[in-house]
Structure formats: C-alpha cells, structure tokens
Structure 1
Amino acid sequence: MNATKTKNPIQDIHTQITNQIIAALESCSGKVTLPWIKAGASLGRPVNASTGNAYKGINVVALWAAAMAKGYGDGTWATYKQWKKLGAQVRKGEKSSLVVFYKEMEVETENKDTGEIETGKRCYARASWVFNAAQVDGWTPPAVPAADPVAVLDGAEAFVAATGADIRIGGNRACYNPAGDFILMPHREFFTGTDTSSATEGWYATLFHELTHWSGHDSRCARDMTGRFGEASYAMEELVAELGAAFLCADLGVTPSPRQDHAEYIANWLEVLKKDKKAVFAAASKADQAAAWLLARRSPVEAGGR
C-alpha cells in the first residue's frame, strides 16, 4: 500500500478523479463504447466488500473506469483495513483506486449583517483508497445466483411502465421532447445486437437514456434542459443521461449497448470536464438522483426483485 497518497491535499480529489475519467474518455475518442458502458455491463454497480453497500455517484464512474483500465472482472472493492478484517490480504505492489465520500459537520459562521454567530452544516470531501477483489488473496466471493434473462427483461419492462412516461413508438431516432414532455423511440426492429448485448437490451439501454432526460423536467428532478448541441449545458445534460442510463442498466441487470451518437458527444464532454474539475461530480450526482427517482416509481413488489 502506498502510504504517501494520504498526503495529497483534499482539494485535489476532484482533479484526480476527473483526470482519471478524462483519460478513460480520451481512450474512447472516435469510438462509441464508453468506459462506464464497458465496465457497467459486466460488473453492475461497484459494491463494498465489508458493508455490502453499493457505491453511488462519482464513485461508481471512477471505479468502473478503474476496473476497465486495469482489467478487473469483479465489482467488489474495499479499503486495505477492510480487506484485512475480512481475512484477506492485499498483494504487495498493488495500486489502490481513489474514491471520495462526504462527511457532514456542524460549523459556526458570522452573519455579515447582524454580526451574530450562526450554526449550520457543511459537507466536506474526504478521500479514501480502495482495492479490487482481484488484488487480494484469501477472499472468496459469496455465491450469486445467475440472473434469468427473461426475468431481467420482464423487470425492465415493469420498470418502464411504472415510470408513467409518455413513450411514443415511431420514427427513426430516439429523443426526449421537453416541450411536449414525451419520449420518441424507434420500433425495436430498428435495433441490432452487438458483441456484448442483444437488440432488445440495446433498445432498453437507449430508452433508459431518454428516461433520464425525461426525469429532468421541472415537475420531476428539475434540471437545466435548455442547452443546445455544442454548449456546455447540453454536454452536461447528455453526460447526466448517459450516466443515468448506465446506472439503471446496472441496477436492473440489463447489459447496455453503446449508442451510435456517443462519439459526437465525447468531444463536448471532454471540453466541459477539462474546464471544470467538479463537472463530472455534479453530473454523476444528478444521474444518481435521476436513477433513484425513476426506480422509486416501482411498487414495493417490483422493487423487491431487480
């Protein structure tokens, strides 16, 4: 374990993780398969081995990118100490991956108008370094029953219906119309399979992208939907939608299929991320919020499955 990493200033967390995402995106330049699509398709949401909790927001993207870059085939992570408590040992020379968590603390500030001391809460970013299950010895992952492909797609269909979105089938492109508040999707027959997913899975992955856009309406998650192609706000919303689709595919067990318009968005995303090191954090947070809001539309019975 490299102890010198803990000496990095906390304010560098955003830069370090953003640079990791930028590097992953640049490796995909000119292609249609993005790092979170590749990793998320096979690993699902990253999970902490000690707590059993799934990682959220930016940590999902960061760990997916790390898994893809390093060729890990497992989505389980933990800190050095957590692995040790589980009876496992991180192998000598293994390099950790950075994640971030936020701790809420009470702070006192002086009111500039009245001079009175006011108490409030503020979130502080804290860095943590984790290792993948592929980097340790002495740990056996719990047995996980194989997913039934039919049940997975039935669950996806139930999820889509539960959102209540106005989805209109027809035309030759997928899009969300903010003015009319409806989603337009081509017929399923227009989708073709890939090496990693079927045509049906590709249809759902594209629909999840548009559903994430749909969640941004003022009456739902209220995101800025006014940007035009080429503008930073447009690139930001597209990044939110892409991450939201990847999160939903992972949560519902659907293998995502790369969208054919990925390549034209990547340049815009890179420009936004390079200018603002906190942009991907904001996008991942909004995508997580969108996915949670959409998944919450399901009934308790439906949510008890996938």
Structure 2
Amino acid sequence: MAPKKTSREVAAEITALIIRKLEEGVAPWKRPWAVTGAGGRPLRHCGTPYTGINNLYLWAIADACGYRSRFWMTRRQAEELRGNVRSGESGSLSVYYSAFTKRENDPATREERDRKFRFLRHYIVYNCDQVDGLPDFYYPPVLPDTPIDPSARQAEIDRFFKAIPADVRHGGNEAYYNPSRDYIQLPHPRSFKSMDYYASVRAHETLHWSGSSSRLARIFGKRFGDKAYSFEELVAEIGSGLICADLGLPNELHDSHASYVGQWISVLKADTTAIIHAASKAEQAFNYLRQFSESAKEISEPTATAAHHPAALAA
C-alpha cells in the first residue's frame, strides 16, 4: 500500500495539475463539462455534486484522461455496487477539511479556551470509466454533438440574473464592476455575438459584485501582495465557470483574461493552497448568487417538492 500523503503533498499535487492545465491553455473551470458525456459537475457515487477544489480537480482529471462519466467513487463503493476497478487503474484525490479542538491557555487573560484547528485530508476515488460492472446509470450514453438551442436556456438565464439585486447599467464598450459605487457596467446586450456571450460576461462581473464588503466581504488583504487583484480575478473566473456550467452555456465562451493567466500561475506556484482557497471562495459566491433565484422560485412555486427540483433530478 502506498504511504499516506501529507496535506502539503496533497495540495502540491492538486496545484501542479491546475498549473499544467493553465499552461496548456485549458483552464479546468471552462471546458470539462462539455467533454464529459452528461455534462455538469462531477458527482459522487450517490449523485451528490462535488464542490470546491474537488470540482475543479476532478474536472481537470477527466479532461486530461478523457473520462466521460460524471461519477466518481472509492474502490469499496464500487464493490458494494458489484463493480470492479480495472487492474492497473490509478485513483484520483478527493479532499476535505477535518478539524480538532485543543484546549489552550490565553496568554492575555490566562484563561483556558478552545482553539479549533483545520487540516486537509483525502481519500482515493476512481472515475466510473475506470470501473467495470456498474449499473448502466453510471456510464453516459454516446450522444451526437449537437448544440443546444439558445432559446431553450434563455428562460433559465433570465431567471438567474433577474433575481440578483445588482445595479446593472448598460452602455459603452467596457464590462466591469465598480466597487466604490457598487454597480456593474456592461455593453448593451445587442453588442454581443449572442445572449450566451452576454450571460457569460455578466456572470463574471456579478461574481465580482458578490465580493462587496456589504455582501460576502471577499477581501484578501496583503496575503498575496500585489497579486491580490489577480487572485480576485481567479475567483471570478472559477465562479463564472460554475454559473455557466449550471446554466448550460457553451464552454467555448469562457476565455480567461490572458493578462491574468501568468499572474495566476505565479500565485499558485508561490502558495500551493491558493487554488484550494480560490475554489472555496468561488463556490461560496456561486451559492450566494444562486440562492436569489432559488428563493424567487420557492415564492412563485410554494407547493414545489424536492423531488421536482432540477438539482434532485440531476442527482
């Protein structure tokens, strides 16, 4: 049995793959949902979507290895489903934070207090393309590569953005979020190639809007020195990728800001936990923005049950 990796080794392994994909020009938050057969986020064996860094990392693994299944599971879970991981297959990391509490003396008050410590843990999972004998449910059918009719997703796009109480102004030829005056500036929708392109850009700027001090207060301070702004851009890129995947937007829309890619790579090389932190912040922002449309839907459909929720169907 291979020796257990330390938290530092796990973070370094994840970061190395993300850096390699960035250097190849394939950001792990843009392309993979179209590569996998069924699209969408990676799923646990029970159908629950992965979140945070697991989402990006398993997307990157699937892209690098050509896996089409969205599902991942441990060897034991595969065996419980009467499946068998093929001989010679290599597993992938799935990480989570654990914590313990230690009783310490407060040097200022000389009183005892509980201090909580968080640390990174991991286990090994396999994509279902690496496993034989599973129920057909876990293997995506081979589908023709036909684009989705833009009108089929426009209602969902409109519902998502309409519910968010951001001040969005249209005009000019620039897209940005103004933090001092708290508004989003976008060109007129007619200026874009399609409403999908417009939605993609609006998603990115709305991610910035979510980080305001009056909302999620996403302030990185001096942690990354003069890289703080590019780190915020990284969070916005990852978060907008999650929105676009959720709304079913074509993946080719999402071109990373070229001027930031080099800075992102330097930040990740300097701090192997940076991508984990960025993915966590992006996930938090995505969930924050998503709750607006979910709340609006609950109000308009008060009798809806969980069984009829799109997320339940996707699982």
Q: Shorter-normalised TM-score: what interval?
A: 0.7 to 0.9
- Partners of 1:53 and 1:245 lie apart in 2 by 21
| Closer/same/farther in 2, CA of residues 268 and 86 from structure 1, 3 Å limit | same
Structural mapping, 1:133-148, within 5 Å: 133-139=128-134, 140-141=136-137
Structural mapping, 1:220-299, within 5 Å: 220-224=215-219, 231-260=226-255, 262-299=257-294
Gaps of 5+ in 1: 193-198
Q: Which residue in the other structure is 1:195 paired with?
A: none
Q: Which residue in the other structure is 2:302 paired with?
A: none
| Closer/same/farther in 2, CA of residues 282 and 162 from structure 1, 3 Å limit | same
- In the TM superposition, residue 172 of structure 1 has moved relative to its aligned partner by 1.7
Q: Which residue in the other structure is 1:45 paired with?
A: 41
Identity %, equivalent residues:
38
Look up the equivalent residue of 1:11 and give its one-letter code.
R
Deviation per CA, 1:70-112, whole angstroms, max 9, x where unpaired?
1112221111111111221111111111121112333322333
Answer 1 or 2: higher relative contact order, Cα 8 Å, separation at least 6.
1
- Partners of 1:128 and 1:143 lie apart in 2 by 22
- Partners of 2:81 and 2:112 lie apart in 1 by 46
How many residue pairs end up in the alignment? Answer: 290
8 Å Cα contact 2:128/2:139 also seen in 1: no
Q: Which residue in the other structure is 1:153 paired with?
A: 154
Which of 105, 114, 117 is residue 119 of structure 1 equivalent to? 114
TM-score by length of 1: 0.85
Which of 59, 66, 79 is residue 61 of structure 2 equivalent to? 66
- In the TM superposition, residue 212 of structure 1 has moved relative to its aligned partner by 0.4
Q: Which residue in the other structure is 2:305 paired with?
A: none
Q: Which residue in the other structure is 2:301 paired with?
A: none
8 Å Cα contact 1:97/1:130 also seen in 2: yes
- Partners of 2:161 and 2:277 lie apart in 1 by 25
Secondary structure at 1:98 match in 2: strand
| Closer/same/farther in 2, CA of residues 131 and 298 from structure 1, 3 Å limit | same
- In the TM superposition, residue 151 of structure 1 has moved relative to its aligned partner by 4.7
- Partners of 2:221 and 2:189 lie apart in 1 by 29
Secondary structure at 1:87 match in 2: coil
CA RMSD of aligned residues (A): 2.7
8 Å Cα contact 1:201/1:257 also seen in 2: no
- In the TM superposition, residue 176 of structure 1 has moved relative to its aligned partner by 1.1
8 Å Cα contact 1:109/1:117 also seen in 2: yes
- Partners of 2:256 and 2:48 lie apart in 1 by 33
- Partners of 2:14 and 2:140 lie apart in 1 by 30
Q: Which residue in the other structure is 2:165 paired with?
A: 164
8 Å Cα contact 2:106/2:113 also seen in 1: yes
- Partners of 1:144 and 1:27 lie apart in 2 by 27
8 Å Cα contact 1:96/1:129 also seen in 2: yes
- In the TM superposition, residue 150 of structure 1 has moved relative to its aligned partner by 3.9
| Closer/same/farther in 2, CA of residues 19 and 299 from structure 1, 3 Å limit | closer
Q: Which residue in the other structure is 1:55 paired with?
A: 50
8 Å Cα contact 1:177/1:183 also seen in 2: yes
Q: Which residue in the other structure is 1:191 paired with?
A: 192
Look up the equivalent residue of 1:38 and give its one-letter code.
R
Q: Which moved more, 1:137-146 or 1:95-104?
A: 137-146
TM-score by length of 2: 0.83
- Partners of 1:54 and 1:165 lie apart in 2 by 28
Deviation per CA, 1:146-190, whole angstroms, max 9, x where unpaired?
988645321121110101111112222221111221112223333
- Partners of 1:238 and 1:181 lie apart in 2 by 17
Q: Which residue in the other structure is 2:177 paired with?
A: 176
| Closer/same/farther in 2, CA of residues 184 and 130 from structure 1, 3 Å limit | same
- Determine whether 1:24 maps to 2:21: yes
Q: Which moved more, 1:236-245 or 1:7-16?
A: 7-16
8 Å Cα contact 1:216/1:225 also seen in 2: no
- Partners of 1:113 and 1:97 lie apart in 2 by 45
Which of 125, 128, 133 is residue 123 of structure 2 equivalent to? 128
Look up the equivalent residue of 1:200 and give its one-letter code.
M
